[in-house]
């Protein structure tokens, strides 16, 4: 308990007397002396700053003895603001029991910063005298020393005595504290530095420090070889000196960070081009609490691996993209799509091509079972059965089905499905393809059709051959028979037999002409003539020929010719006749009662063209619809039996159609079984400028019109020579004959001729070989070639030999006379020029 308080201030010494004075002086001196010793030791004791409390410990016994105290203690004051004091007790043990009683006194010492003396009641006759001494430096209490005595209570003199000590302690304590703080800071710095170095060493990055002059000042890096240049070539050098081609970018970044303070980043390849490394630079300003020049920290990280990974990823990506594109193209080109069904999730996937094939939008709801609806109703059961077998027993399927898209497009597809298992053999998916095989199917169909038609054609051909042999043998039989009759009995039934002979011969000729024509047409070797003729006269002439035939069958043959038809058109009268002849002879042949009509109409005309329509109509047996296209094919006859009855080869309509096509037109037919048949076609003809002038009528030549002409007939066939003689009998021409080229040459050497009629096929020297000799020996003689070979090559060969006049065998007498007339007038004209 605190009885009296004495807060230190200087007072006069309470002692008195001289002796006493001397003693006191001596004692004081002693105490001063002691004090000086203590002060002297303080400096040493406080020299090791981390042991401040040791210094105090060391000091305490001296202080106790100096102040004649019995107990003492010292404690560093760590903190005494905010109303509470934080002690660092150093020598509590030296305090007597109940030290708590000193607390108030101690507080006072701390808060006042002044020494304090108080008396503490300890329940005995001699209470404690307590002296609290603050150790102060610049008004801050650093420690408190407490001294206690029961014998001589403390006085201000004690305080005075201790005053210098207090000051020295204050200094020493502060100093030691500072040194300690400095030491701690230094330690912390060293620690931080080594931590920093350790940290730097763990980094793969290279770290540079740079000053505001852009000069590298420090560098850290775990391995020296990571540096792109030796350390000494970098430190103290500027960006421009060190970084070569990258210095522009680095300078720009450094300028920017110095100006704005904003961190900068930059990606660049290794400045040593030999290394394929990539680096990432991060620049930040070093945040320094001290004002001063700016410093930049450069963190350089080798990101090659990351880059490589990234590039690899990008490459993989682009490869994937390319593969996908290729797959897309393949699917497009192969018209193939794929699908996948996940048996675990129930998810269904179609590739784009499946959507395209099915003509549904990309958001079309797809399921494993919905696919069936895209197949032809007749094919759905097969698909469903295969699909169900796949899903229940994992049996793969591969089907060709008719597919119908959402928009109704019909295609053929190959639909394949199969189970997919993972490595453990567990079923995970069903996968499949859908492939558009319409083209393949079409080709297959076309092939089947072609095979069928080839088979039919082969069949038709063999039927044709049998028909043909029948047809040829019949007239031949007649000719041979009649020849026999004539031989045996030259006068009997002359007219009738000759008529039959003519008929059979003509029939045979017709057959052979048909076959020849057809093979020429097949070879594309027929060219249409362009000569003027009178269409009405031509039709009329043909019909007249058929009147007897119609009459004999009791049917009417009607001719209906448009009056507006031009009197003269340019075209191929021979081919037109062939068409009309075929149609008319068929019409009469297949009509047993009623009529056959030929109608020729002027459809349209311009100044120099006219379009003429032809119709041949009969009331005959008609043609069933399924045969109507086929009868235009070669060797096809509606019914061989019927035709056998009517005769014919099945070539007529094939030739007719080809001839009409050659005129850039088409022949059509309307018919019903037993209700007759109508054939129609149109042909455009050119109309000559001056019809009258162009009209070239074959008029009958006057008798003796070749009176002044000598002809050499070169022909190996004696009958033909005789026929020519008969044909030219009335012309008045003088005829010399030769049986081959060689003979002809000797005749020509004997006399000159106006013209030479020459057969091409002869023994010894044929016509072709003879021609140059004729041209050499008798250059003014005209040459007329007779040949049974009417293929275009012959014409070409003769053309090359400059022979224009040619008469195909068999020919009519008037044709020979006509050609001779023309040749004669040409010769005369040439001679008069
Ligand atoms: P064919 O020499 O057998 O007459 P075509 O080619 O001229 O040969 O005719 C082929 C087939 O077409 C005939 O055999 C016949 O069956 C049928 N045909 C042609 N014209 C008629 C027609 N006017 N009326 C009925 N059938 C016809």
Residue with CA nearest ligand 1 atom 14: 637
Q: What is the mean pLDDT of residues 37-42?
A: 82
**DSSP 8-state symbol, 227:** S
- At 18 the pLDDT is 63
pLDDT tens-place string over residues 202-213: 777 888 899 999
Residues 371 and 444 in one domain: no
With the CA atoms of 388, 391, 396 and 400 taken in that order, what torsion angle do they form, in degrees rounded to the nearest 10?
Answer: 40
Which residue, judged by its Cα, is nearest atom 8 of ligand 1? 650
Cα–Cα nearest to 280, from 300, 294, 298: 300
Show the DSSP H helices in 85-155 as ranges.
103-112
**505 domain residue, yes or no:** no
Residues 258 and 269 in one domain: yes
Judge whether 684 and 605 are in contact, CB under 8 Å: no
Question: Are 415 and 403 in a shared domain?
Answer: yes
- When pLDDT is cut at 50, 70 and 90, the band that residue 1 belongs to is very low
* Mean pLDDT value across the chain: 83
For the segment 384-395, the average pLDDT, to the nearest whole number, is: 92
Query: What does the alpha-carbon distance between residue 341 and residue 347 come to, in Å, rounded to a whole number?
Result: 6
Q: What is the mean pLDDT of residues 111-140?
A: 85
Lowest mean pLDDT among 585-599, 682-696, 740-754: 682-696
Ligand 1 neighbour 590 (Cβ under 6 A)? yes
- The verdict on the CB of residue 587 being under 6 Å from ligand 1 is yes
pLDDT at 771 over 90: yes
> Are 134 and 207 contained in the same domain?
no
Residues 709 and 832 in one domain: yes
Measure 621 CA to ligand 1 centroid, in angstroms. 10
Q: What is d(CA 711, CA 700) in angstroms, rounded to the nearest whole number?
A: 20
CA of 583 relative to ligand 1 center, distance in Å: 9
Same-domain status, 442 and 430: no
Kindly give the number of the ligand 1 atom that is closest to the alpha carbon of 618: 23
Distance CA 246, CA 277 (A): 14
Judged against a pLDDT cut of 80, whether residue 778 lies above it is answered with yes
CA 623 to centroid of ligand 1, rounded, Å: 8
Buried b (16+ CB within 10 A) or exposed e, 215-234: bbeebbbeeeeeebeeeeeb
- With tokens 């030479």, the residue in question is 756
| Cα angle: 771, vertex 773, 778; to 5 degrees | 95
User: How close is the Cα of 462 to the center of ligand 1, in Å?
Assistant: 18
Q: Is 652 in the pocket of ligand 1 (CB under 6 A)?
A: yes
Q: How far does the centroid of ligand 1 lie from the alpha carbon of residue 638, in Å?
A: 7
Residue 646 reports pLDDT greater than 70: no
Cα–Cα distance for residue pair 506/25, rounded to 1 Å: 188
CA torsion angle 715 720 726 729 (round to 10)? -20
Does the structure show a pLDDT above 90 at 756?
yes
Is the beta carbon of 583 within 6 A of some atom in ligand 1? no
Looking at ligand 1, which residue's alpha carbon is closest to its atom 11? 637
Q: How confident is the model at residue 122 (pLDDT cuts 50, 70, 90)?
A: confident
Least confident of 94-108, 383-397, 512-526, 639-653: 639-653
Tokens of 582: 């075929």
Q: Select from 421, 436, 451 the last residue of a domain.
A: 436
* 273/386 same-domain check: no
190 falls within a domain: no
591 CA → ligand 1 middle, Å: 11
Q: What's residue 222's pLDDT?
A: 80
C-alpha to C-alpha distance for 744 and 773, rounded to whole angstroms = 10
695 pLDDT more than 50: no
Give the whole-angstrom CA distance, residue 438 versus residue 410: 9
> Is residue 623 within 6 Å of ligand 1 at its C-beta?
yes
- Cis, bond preceding 810 (omega within 30 deg of 0): yes
Mean pLDDT value across residues 8-31: 62
CA-angle at 470, arms to 617 and 496, nearest 5°:
75
How far is ligand 1, taken at its centre, from the CA of residue 642, in Å? 10
Helices (H) and strands (E) in the chain, counts: 21, 28
218 in the same domain as 77: no
- On whether the CB atoms of residues 678 and 617 are closer than 8 A, the answer is yes
Domain contains 526: no
Can you give the three-state secondary structure of 482-515, one letter per residue? HHHHHHHCCCCCHHHHHHHHHHHHHHHHHHHHHH
The Cα-based distances of 104 to 99, 135, 143 in angstroms read 10, 17, 16
Q: What is the four-CA torsion angle of 547, 550, 553, 558, rounded to 10 degrees?
A: -120
**Does residue 307 sit within a domain?**
no
Name the phi and psi angles at 15, rounded to 5: -70, 155
Distance between CA atoms of residues 59 and 775, nearest Å: 163
In Å, what is the CA distance from 379 to each residue of 373, 404, 415?
10, 11, 12
What is the CATH classification number for the domain harbouring 413? 3.30.450.20
Q: Is the C-beta atom of 650 inside 6 A of ligand 1?
A: yes
User: Closest Cα to atom 2, ligand 1: which residue?
Assistant: 648
Taking only the tens place, the pLDDT of each residue in 528-570 is 888 888 899 889 888 888 888 899 999 999 999 888 888 889 9
Cα(166)–Cα(819) distance, integer angstroms: 166
Q: If you measure from the C-alpha of residue 585 to the centroid of ligand 1, how many angstroms do you get, rounded to a whole number?
A: 9
In ligand 1, the atom with minimum distance to the C-alpha of 642 is 16
CA of 274 to the centre of ligand 1 (A): 91
CB-count burial class (<10 Å; 0-12, 13-18, 19+) for 458: exposed
In this structure, what CATH number is given to the domain that contains residue 574? 3.30.565.10
Q: pLDDT of 295-348, one tens digit each?
A: 999 988 888 888 778 888 888 888 888 888 888 888 888 888 999 999 889 899
Structural domain includes residue 524: no
- Span from the CA of 586 to the centroid of ligand 1 (angstroms): 6
What is the C-alpha to C-alpha distance for residues 466 and 290, in angstroms, rounded to an integer? Answer: 124
Most ligand 1 atoms within 8 A of CB, residue of 653, 655, 660 to mutate: 653
DSSP state of 563: T
Could you tell me if residue 824 is inside a domain? yes
Most confident of 1-10, 647-656, 816-825: 816-825
| CA of residue 659 to ligand 1 center, whole Å | 16
Whole-number Å distance, alpha carbon 652 to ligand 1 midpoint, is: 8
457: CA distance to ligand 1 center in Å?
17
The CATH number for 23's domain is 3.30.450.40
Tens of pLDDT, residue by residue over 146-192, are: 888 888 888 888 888 888 888 888 888 888 878 777 888 888 888 88
CA 650 to CA 534: how far, in whole Å?
Answer: 30
Same domain for 145 and 39, yes or no, is: yes
Give the closest residue (by CA) to ligand 1 atom 18. Answer: 586
Q: 107 is in which domain, residue-wise?
A: 18-172
Q: Same domain for 395 and 460?
A: no
pLDDT, residue 414, reads 93
Atom number in ligand 1 closest to CA 582 = 7
Domain co-membership, 724 together with 648 = no
Mean pLDDT within 458-472: 68
Same domain (yes/no): 22, 161: yes
565 C-alpha vs ligand 1 centroid, how far in Å? 29
Provide mean pLDDT across the span 402-420: 94
Q: What is the mean pLDDT of residues 627-638?
A: 75
Decide whether any atom of ligand 1 lies within 6 Å of the 648 Cβ.
yes
619 pocket-lining for ligand 1 (C-beta < 6 Å) = no
Ligand 1, atom 7, residue with closest C-alpha = 652
Question: Measuring CA to CA, which residue among 164, 173, 146 is closest to residue 43?
Answer: 173
Q: How far is the CA of 651 from the centre of ligand 1 (A)?
A: 9
Categorize the per-residue pLDDT at 11 as very low, low, confident or very high, splitting at 50, 70 and 90. Answer: very low
Q: How far is CA 724 from CA 503, 700, 753, 790, in A?
A: 21, 17, 17, 19
- Provide the pLDDT for residue 273: 63
Tell me what pLDDT residue 59 has: 84
Pocket lining: 803 vs ligand 1, CB cutoff 6 Å: no
Half-sphere exposure of residue 127: CA atoms within 13 angstroms, side-chain side: 16
Ligand 1 site-directed mutation target among 470, 515, 620, 631, most atoms within 8 Å of CB: 631
Selection from 184, 162, 148 nearest residue 52 by Cα: 184
Instruction: Decide if pLDDT at 608 tops 80.
Output: yes
Q: Please tell me the total count of domains within the chain.
A: 5
504 lines ligand 1 (CB under 6 A): no
Q: How confident is the model at residue 512 (pLDDT cuts 50, 70, 90)?
A: confident
Residue nearest to atom 23 of ligand 1 (CA): 587
Q: What is the pLDDT of residue 3?
A: 35
Which helix H or strand E contains 650, and what residues bound it?
none
Which atom, in ligand 1's list, is nearest to the CA of 676? 24
Distance CA 365, CA 769 (A): 85
Give the confidence band of 31 by pLDDT, cuts at 50, 70, 90: confident
Q: Which of 409, 436, 463 is the last residue of a domain?
A: 436
- Rounded Cα distance between 492 and 477, Å, is 19
Residue 620 near ligand 1, beta carbon < 6 Å = yes
Distance between Cα 622 and ligand 1 center (Å): 9
Cα torsion 357, 360, 364, 367 to 10°: value is -40
pLDDT score at 475? 67
Nearest atom, ligand 1, residue 616 CA: 23
How far apart are the CA of 177 and the centre of ligand 1, in A?
138
Contact 572, 531 (CB under 8 A): yes
User: Looking at the predicted structure, is the pLDDT value of residue 241 above 80?
Assistant: yes
Q: What is the DSSP string of 684-709?
A: EEE--SSHHHH----PPPPTTTTTT-
Ligand 1 proximity of 119 Cβ (cutoff 6 Å):
no
Instruction: Return d(Cα 379, Cα 404) in angstroms, integer.
Output: 11
* Biggest CA-to-CA distance, the chain: 219
Rounded to whole angstroms, the Cα distance separating 128 from 112 reads 22
530 domain-assigned: no
> What are the tokens at 376?
């032809």
pLDDT at site 16? 47
Residue 10: per-residue pLDDT? 36
What CATH number corresponds to the domain at position 744? 3.40.50.2300
Please give the average per-residue pLDDT across 689-697, as a whole number: 47
Mutation test residue for ligand 1: of 555, 581, 588, 590, the one with most atoms within 8 Å of CB:
590
């Amino acid at each position: 308990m605190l009885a009296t308080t004495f807060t230190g201030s200087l007072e006069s010494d309470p002692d008195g007397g001289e002796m006493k004075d001397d003693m006191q002086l001596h004692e004081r001196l002693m105490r001063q002396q002691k004090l000086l010793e203590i002060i002297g030791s303080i400096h040493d004791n406080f020299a090791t700053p981390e042991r401040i409390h040791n210094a105090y410990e060391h000091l305490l016994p001296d202080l106790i003895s100096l102040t004649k105290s019995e107990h003492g203690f010292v404690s560093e004051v760590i903190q005494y603001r905010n109303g509470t004091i934080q002690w660092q007790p150093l020598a509590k043990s030296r305090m007597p029991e109940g030290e708590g009683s000193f607390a108030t006194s101690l507080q006072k010492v701390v808060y006042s910063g002044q020494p304090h003396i108080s008396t503490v009641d300890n329940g005995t006759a001699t209470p404690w005298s307590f002296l609290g001494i603050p150790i102060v430096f610049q008004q801050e209490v650093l420690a408190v020393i407490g001294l206690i005595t029961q014998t001589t209570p403390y006085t201000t003199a004690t305080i005075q005595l201790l005053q210098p000590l207090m000051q020295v302690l204050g200094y020493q304590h502060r100093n030691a504290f500072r040194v300690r703080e400095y030491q701690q800071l230094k330690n912390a710095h060293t620690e931080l530095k080594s931590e920093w170095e350790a940290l730097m060493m763990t980094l793969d990055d290279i770290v540079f420090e740079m000053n505001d002059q852009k000069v590298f000042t420090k560098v850290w890096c775990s391995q020296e070889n990571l540096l792109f240049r030796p350390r000494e070539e970098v430190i103290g050098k500027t960006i421009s000196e060190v970084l070569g081609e990258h210095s522009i970018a680095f300078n720009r970044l450094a300028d920017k960070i110095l100006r704005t303070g904003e961190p900068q980043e930059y990606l660049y390849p290794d400045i040593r081009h030999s290394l394929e490394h990539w680096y990432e630079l991060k620049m930040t300003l070093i945040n320094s609490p001290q004002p001063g020049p700016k410093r930049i920290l450069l963190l350089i990280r080798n990101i090659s691996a990351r880059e490589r990974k990234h590039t690899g990823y990008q490459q993989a990506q682009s490869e994937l993209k390319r593969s996908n594109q290729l797959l897309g193209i393949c699917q497009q080109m192969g018209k193939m799509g794929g699908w996948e069904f996940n048996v675990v999730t129930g998810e269904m996937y179609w590739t784009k091509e499946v959507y395209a094939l099915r003509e549904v939008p990309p958001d079309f709801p797809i399921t494993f079972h919905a696919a069936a609806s895209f197949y032809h109703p007749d094919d759905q059961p097969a698909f469903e059965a295969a699909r169900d077998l796949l899903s229940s027993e994992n049996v793969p399927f591969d089907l060709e089905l008719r597919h119908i898209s959402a928009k109704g497009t019909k295609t053929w597809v190959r639909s394949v499905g199969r189970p997919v298992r993972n490595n453990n053999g567990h079923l995970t998916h069903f996968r499949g393809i859908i492939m558009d095989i319409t083209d393949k199917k079409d080709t297959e169909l076309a092939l089947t059709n072609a095979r069928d038609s080839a088979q039919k054609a082969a069949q038709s051909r063999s039927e044709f051959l049998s028909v043909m042999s029948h047809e040829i043998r019949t007239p031949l039989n007649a000719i041979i028979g009649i020849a026999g009759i004539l031989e045996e009995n030259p006068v009997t039934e002359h007219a009738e037999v000759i008529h039959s002979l003519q008929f059979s011969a003509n029939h045979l000729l017709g057959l052979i002409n048909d076959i020849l024509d057809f093979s020429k047409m097949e070879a594309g070797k027929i060219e249409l003539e362009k000569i003027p003729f009178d269409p009405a006269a031509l039709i009329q002439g043909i019909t007249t020929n058929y009147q007897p035939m119609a009459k004999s069958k009791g049917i009417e043959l009607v001719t209906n010719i448009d009056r507006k038809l031009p009197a003269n058109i340019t075209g191929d009268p021979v081919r037109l006749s062939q068409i009309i002849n075929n149609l008319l002879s068929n019409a009469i042949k297949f009509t047993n009662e009623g009529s056959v009509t030929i109608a020729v109409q002027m459809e349209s005309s311009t100044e120099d063209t006219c379009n003429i329509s032809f119709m041949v109509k009969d009331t005959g047996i008609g043609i069933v619809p399924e045969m109507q296209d086929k009868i235009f094919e070669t060797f096809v006859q509606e019914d061989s039996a019927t035709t056998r009855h009517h005769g014919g080869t099945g070539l007529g309509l094939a030739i007719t159609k080809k001839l009409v096509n050659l005129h850039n037109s088409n022949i059509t037919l309307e018919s019903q079984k037993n209700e007759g048949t109508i054939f129609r076609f149109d042909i455009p003809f050119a109309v000559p400028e001056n019809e009258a002038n162009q009209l070239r009528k074959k008029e009958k030549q006057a008798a003796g019109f070749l009176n002044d002409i000598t002809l050499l007939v070169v022909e190996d066939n004696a009958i033909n020579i005789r026929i020519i003689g008969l044909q030219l009998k009335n012309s008045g021409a003088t005829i010399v004959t030769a049986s081959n080229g060689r003979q002809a040459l000797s005749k020509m050497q004997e006399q000159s001729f106006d013209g030479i009629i020459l057969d091409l096929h002869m023994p010894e020297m044929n016509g072709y070989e003879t021609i140059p000799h004729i041209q050499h020996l008798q250059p003014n003689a005209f040459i007329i070639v007779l040949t049974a070979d009417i293929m275009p090559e012959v014409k070409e060969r003769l053309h090359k030999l400059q022979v224009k006049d040619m008469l195909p065998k068999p020919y009519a007498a008037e044709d020979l006379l006509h050609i001779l007339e023309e040749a004669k007038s040409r010769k005369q004209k040439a001679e008069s020029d």
